[in-house]
Every structure is written in structure tokens, then in C-alpha cells.
A and B are shown apart, each in its own frame.
Chain A
Amino acid sequence: MTTATQPTYSEVTRDVVASMGRPGRGYYILLGFVLFVLAAGGVAFLYQIRYGLGMAGYQPPVMWAVYITDFVFWVGIAHCGTLISAILYLFRSAWRTAVYRTAEAMTVFAVMTAGLFPVIHLGRLWYAYWLFPYPNQRQLWPNFKSPLLWDVFAISTYFTVSTVFLIVGLVPDVAAVRDKVTGFRGKIYKLFALNWRGTDSQWRHYTKAYLFLAALATPLVLSVHSVVSWDFAVSIVPGWHTTIFAPYFVAGAIYSGLAMVVTLLVPLRTTLGLERYVHEEHFDNLGKLLLLTGSIVGYAYLVEYFIAWYSGSPYERESFYFRAFGDYWWATWTMIICNAFLSQLLWFPKIRRSIPMMFVLSLFINLGMWFERYVIIVISLSHEYEPFAMDHYTPTWVDWTITAGSFAWFFTWFLLFARNFPTVSLTEVKEIIPMQRKTTAHK
């Protein structure tokens, strides 16, 4: 941490605990608003259950549309958490300490949001449990060759590991807060603190466990979104069937996740008074990671277009031509401009270090990444091999309301978390503050 005024250990505890104090009216207004939107999403969902998936605009050939877009979008958002908490930990990046808690919490809530969509997308959602692979008396046995089933495994593993990661990381912090709070919240903290006393042997086990978790979670960053990409790539739909999909999806996922972290951190740091802990340097570093992943995404766009042409296949060529200049040209250009071009602005340190600029940019990137999935899923399906089977798809109000509801669901969890748990890691921020010598200790 390189701010002019280094916080002391006690100030860290004070500031972070203060961020969990009684929130202002703005917080409740915001919470009320997201709960309202969530309720609207719930109503739309009930409507869809009553009248069927046709309400979502589904008709052949586009049978995967906005819900799958949302699903991939939210799984993608979830990727940044593990990157920051596991991979950057293994790379010994000190700056991660101030932002990783937010990223981890975001990860868990994003997976919880993503997990809704396979169910929302089901025509008969009361059979959702058929997805789980257990032998049963009806001789149903899920198809293990289907990437959709791999999704179930990949995402439930990811959810488990990232939740464990979040909870383990919280232990010493919650213990520090536990001693300052009474009542119902005190009981919750007592539960989460797992009887933490901060003894040497507890710390030894804790650091060991954290290291192992980080090492085990690292492959998950690659595997989860690779499996999601194979939902598409293993088919032969033009625009889906391409080998670059796995790493390209992973890079895109981290890209969108980082953008969401920026989107969340900017209001969080001001409303919770954490400016001293989350400052320009963190946005600078997040900006560099955004630049890296955004450039990988840009590379993938270019290679995809080039190979579509190079392959000489009329279907591939037509599919990509249709993307850029067909009915949905606006979606494609939103994706290309927001993801490939706007990220290049991050070459300039001035932009990376300007918090308002980063905030605006992160919103555009979120938008662009949502449209990327829309482009891949909807445009490719609407324009496959046979002109006879092509059709146009338009999202309905049900789609949009449920999508808005998913954002509300995500923010509800996040708001509750930010209010009740330390969003900046007390322990790890303290670790990177240099030890104060007795002669220079002040106040």
C-alpha cells in the first residue's frame, strides 16, 4: 500500500468495522429497489411457468436465447473471484488483499445467480432434479457424454470451492469483529469464526489450508468456463464449433468478472468509507488485468473471423458475415466495440488511474460481454445451415424482466453481505502494512 498515510493496525479494524455499522437511508432505498425488481422477476417467472416457454419468445430454431445468455454471463462474472483470490495469491501479488473479499463474495453470488437459469430455462422445471446423476427406479441415467451434464459437475464444484474459499478467508476477520458485536449478529459471527482464537497453531493450519485451497482452486478458473464453452463448441453449429472457444471463454469470463468487480468497488468504497484501502493503485492493477483479458478476447474475435474466411466453408463464412452485417448487426458491433476496442483505452495509465473513467468503462464492458454471449448463442442458432430453417428471434418482456430480476437477486445478496461482513480483508490488509518500529510509532 503506497498511500501517503499508512493506516495503523487499529485503524484498519476501526475503519472496516465502521463500514459494517448502521447503514444510511440510501442503503435501504437501494435494497428496497432491488427487492422490488426481484419480485417483478419472480412474477414474470410465474407467468412463464403458467403459460410456457413460448412466452420467452422461444421458437425453432432459436431454443436457447436470453436465459442461456444470462447463464453464461453470470458464470463468467464468477470467474474473477478465484483469479484474484487464488491465482494472484500464488503469484504473490500484494495488491489483491484489499479487493479479494469483494471479488470472492461476488463470485459466490454470481454462481448462485447463474444456477437459477438452467432451471428457469426448463420447460417443466419440476423435473429439474433429473439433471442430477443418481440411479433411480425409472431407469433414468443422465447422458455423461453431454456437456450439459458436465456443467452440472463443473458449476457445483466451483460453487462449493468458492464458497469454502470465502468462508475460510472470513474466519480471522469474523473473529476480530465477533468481539465487538453483540446480539443476533454476534451469534452469526460466533458461528462463522469457528472458535478462532488466533493461536500460533491455528494460524499455521489456516495459512496451509489457504495455500492448498488456492492451488486446488486454480484449475477451476480454467475448467468451469471451458466446460461452459463446450456446451456450444462440441456441436457443429457454425459460429459455435471452433477450437479456440475454451480459452477464449475463460479469458472473456475473467474480463467480465473484473469489470463487475470495478463496478461494485467504486460505489462500495465511497459509501462504506474505504477510500484509504481501495484506491487508484488497485484500479490501475485491475485495469491492467482488464487490458490483458480484453486483448485476448480481441485476439479471439480476430482469429475467429479470419479462420471462418480461411476455412473456405460457405456456412462458416455466411454465419460470420451475418453476425456483422445481418439482422443483429447492432449486437455484434456492441460486443466488438465494448470488448475489443474500449479495452484498448486501458493502455493509458491516466485512464486506469481515474476511478470515474474505470467505472464507466466497466459498465460498457459488462454490456459488451452480455452481448457477446447473446451474439454467440442467438445469432448462431437463428442462422444455421438451411435457409428454410432460419428464423428471427426477439426477446420478450418476460426475458427482460427475468434478466433484470437476476441482477436484483445478485445485488440483494451482495448488499446483505456488504452490510454484515467485512468487504475488505482485515487480516490481509494488515499483513502488507509494514511493521511499525517503536521509535517511529506515533499517536
Chain B
Amino acid sequence: MSGGAHVDLRERGLHAPLRGHVVAGSVLAGVGLVTFIVGFSGSEPARAWHAYLINFLFFLGLTQGGIVFAAIQKVTKAKWGGAIIRFSEAGVAFMPVLLVLFVILFFGREHLFPWIAHPTPVRGNWLTTRWVFARDLFTLLVLSGVSIAFVWYDLKPDLAGARSLVKDWRGKLYDRITNGFTGTPEQVAENDRRIGWLSPLLIVLYAYGMTMIAFDLIMSLAPYWVSTLLGAFFFMGAHLSGLTTLALNMVYWRRQLGLESIIGRQQFHDLGKLVFGFSVFWAYTMFSQVLVIWYGNLPEETAFVFYRLWGAWRPVSILVAILVFLVPFWGLIWVKSKTTPFTFTLFSLVSLAGMWLERYLLVQPSITENGPEFGLTEIGVMLGFLGLYLLAYGAFARAFPMVSPRLAARAAELQH
């Protein structure tokens, strides 16, 4: 990559067009807020809280699962992702918002957790309001902290490179983050060393933290049901949703920033392979649970599965399997469908929608007597979360360069 192109990338990365994020984000967040307030102050407060929990889990998954993609790229020393890594790191801006959203969840606890009204003494204090919220808040704090630190150090060299192009508050912010970093070999080595231990740490914390969240916020909703794989099922699914979100962001920003020259066939093909692979893995972890539970036929375990596979919830379960596995599997098995932006976007969207429905299916049947309900409340709250996500993402894109010329150059080396 020539020097001129490098400077040009720096410029473009700093001037991301954000009107779409601001307008859509504000409108959707407003819609969500109104729906949620109307929902929980109306006749069906529980329904609003249910939707809130589902969306909290879904958006936590796609945000944190996306940041973990960046960490995995560092650990495996992958180069191809250099051009798109920032699009997954940008989600880190949503982590503090998620923390606040989790605190709000506290006020809906009576509508969500059956063990508040019917404690399970055999578990001691494990499932009590104080304990559950304290440890989950702590988990989320740690995850956010390490995620922010990771992105911080990966931004540092790029901010040092772009410092001369920004002024005002951005200038101050960059000075604060770069903290005297000028790109000397020692500084680069020191920075790489930090990323070198932050990225595996983030992956480990992600696995344990998301397992905790899954056990507390999903498994405990069905009081006597247990599945040891649920934690891994949750965080691998979350990683899949992080990848599909990245795919959508990649397609969007590629056009908005005019990055067709650096985000090419290679990136589409490789990300497509990952989405394909994790869709298959999702099906594998799903099947591993269903088979063992079905075969063992113990009532405390089967209730959870049978309730979803027979009766009113059956169509939802079938739809989840189609959207998360069947369609992306047959859609993305071909090279051409991975490397064509239109089809890749389409199948990523299908998978992401399926993942939302999967989180809905994990939560909702455990906490309601009714069959599937999908109305204004569910849609409104989901749009509200989406709006907040877009706003936070936009704020990151406003403040930081959305493309790293340094990492993009590394990815470009592969194409020769």
C-alpha cells in the first residue's frame, strides 16, 4: 500500500458519515423508551420486562461476542481481519450502556425471576436477589473494563498516527489515550505486549462471565432445569451474533467510507466461513443438549425441552432451527454467496434474526404461562435497544478512526 493511500485511509476513517446512526438511533431509542414505559405501566408489566431481559441478553451477546472476535484475531495473529477489526471493536462503546441497562433490570426482578417468590433452599443463598445482581454486575463490570482496555491499546497507535488531523476535544482525547506514544519500536513492542495478554484474558473472562450470565439470567428462570452446556451454548451463540453483526457493519461501512479497495473478496470469504462454521457449531451444541436430555428422559430436564418442542412453542423452535442453522448453512456453503455482498448480508441478517428468536425462545417460555406473543411490546423494546446500540456505536465512530491504516496494510499484504 502506498504512502498516499495510507494518509487517505486515515482521513476517511476519521470522517465517518454518522447522520444515519444519529437519526435512526434517536428515533428508535425514543420509540423503545415510550413502548417500554407504556408497557410496564400498563396492564401487562411483566411482558415489557420479559422483552427487556431478552433484548438485554441478545445485545450483550452481539456486543461482547463481537469484541471477542477482535481478541481472537490478535491471539491467532490473523491478518485478514485488519481491515474490519475496528468495526467489531467499536461495539465497546455500548458496554457502559449495557451496564446501566443491567442496573435497570433490577427493578423488574419480581416479574422475571421465579426464585424470588419461590426460593430454592437447596441452593443456599446462590439464587437470591442480592447475590445474583451483585455477581452479575461485577461480571459485567470486569468484562467491560477489560474490553475497554483492550480496545484502548489497539487504538493507541492509530490515534498517534491521526493526532495531527484532529483538534478540539478529539485532540485532547487522543492525547489522553496515546499518552506520549509516538510509535518508537520500544513503544510499539510495549503496546503489543499489553495486547498480547489482554486478548487471551478477555477470551477467558468472556467464557466464564457469559456462562455466569447464562446460568443466572436464563437457567434460573426454569427453577429445576439444569444443562451444563448452556453456558457454552450461550456464549458461542453470542459470538455468532457478534460475527453476523460485524458482517452487517462491514458491508455498511465499506460503502459509507468507500473502502472497496481494502475490504475485498478475502474479507468476505473469511468472515463468511466463520459465520458458516459457527452456525454449524451452534447446531452441534443445540443437538448435544437435546439428544442427551431426550435420551435420559429425566422429568426435571425434559420439561424445558418438551415445552419448547411440542405445543404452542413448537413453531418458534422450528423457526429458530431454520433461521440460525438451515438457511445460513445452505446459503453460505458456497464460495459465491459468501463473497457477494448482497447474499452475504442477507444470510447474516437471517442468522441474526434467528439468534434474537433463539434468545426469546430460551427465556420466554420459562417465565410465561401464555404461548408465544410477538406484538408491539416486543418489537418496540427491541427497537429501543437497537437505537441505543446505534447511538453508542455512532459515538465511537464520531470519536475514533473507523479504519486502522496500520492493520489494513497488513491485511492487504495477503492479497499479493
Contact = CB atoms under 8 A, between A and B. Distances in A.
B374 interface: no
Nearest to A305: B228
A313 B298 CA distance: 12
- Main DSSP-derived SS at the A contact region: helix
Contact of A310 (B204, B226, B296, B300): B226
A90 B76 CA distance: 14
A222 interface: yes
B292 A233 contact: yes
A246 interface: yes
Interface in A282-300: 295, 299-300
- Main DSSP-derived SS at the B contact region: helix
B122 A241 contact: no
B285 interface: yes
A257 B69 CA distance: 27
B224 A307 contact: no
Nearest to B233: A243
Interface in A177-223: 219, 222
A230 B291 contact: yes
B26 interface: no
Interface residues of A, number: 28
Contacts of B207: 299
B160 to A, nearest CB: 27
Contact of A235 (B200, B232, B291, B296): B296
A303 B211 CA distance: 9
B228 A307 contact: yes
A241 B298 contact: yes
A363 to B, nearest CB: 25
Interface string A248-289: 000000000000000000000000000000000000000000
B232 A244 contact: yes
A234 interface: yes
A307 to B, nearest CB: 5
A226 interface: yes
A310 B126 contact: yes
Interface in B212-230: 215, 224, 226-230
B227 A312 contact: no
B228 A243 contact: yes
Contacts of A242: 228, 292
Contacts of A219: 280
Contacts of B292: 230, 233-234, 241-243, 245-246
A295 B204 contact: yes
B353 to A, nearest CB: 26
A243 B286 CA distance: 10
A389 interface: no
Interface string A3-41: 000000000000000000000000000000000000000
Interface string B117-142: 00010110010000000000000000
A318 interface: no
Nearest to A291: B200
Contact of A247 (B200, B215, B285, B295): B285
Contacts of A307: 226-228
A428 interface: no
A243 B123 contact: no
A225 to B, nearest CB: 11
B61 interface: no
A310 B123 contact: yes
A351 to B, nearest CB: 15
B293 interface: yes
Given A241-B298, A247-B284, A307-B228, 5 more contacts: A91-B76, A242-B292, A243-B288, A304-B228, A312-B123
26 contacts: A219-B280, A222-B284, A233-B292, A234-B291, A234-B292, A234-B295, A234-B296, A236-B298, A241-B298, A243-B228, A243-B230, A243-B289, A243-B293, A244-B228, A244-B229, A245-B288, A245-B292, A246-B292, A247-B285, A247-B288, A299-B208, A304-B228, A310-B123, A310-B226, A311-B226, A312-B224
Interface of A: 90-91, 219, 222, 226, 230, 233-236, 241-247, 295, 299-300, 303-304, 307, 310-313, 347
Interface of B: 76, 120, 122-123, 126, 200, 204, 207-208, 211, 215, 224, 226-232, 273, 280, 284-285, 288-289, 291-293, 295-298, 300
10 residue pairs, one from A and one from B, having the closest CB atoms = A312-B122, A244-B228, A234-B295, A246-B288, A243-B229, A243-B289, A244-B229, A243-B227, A311-B226, A242-B228
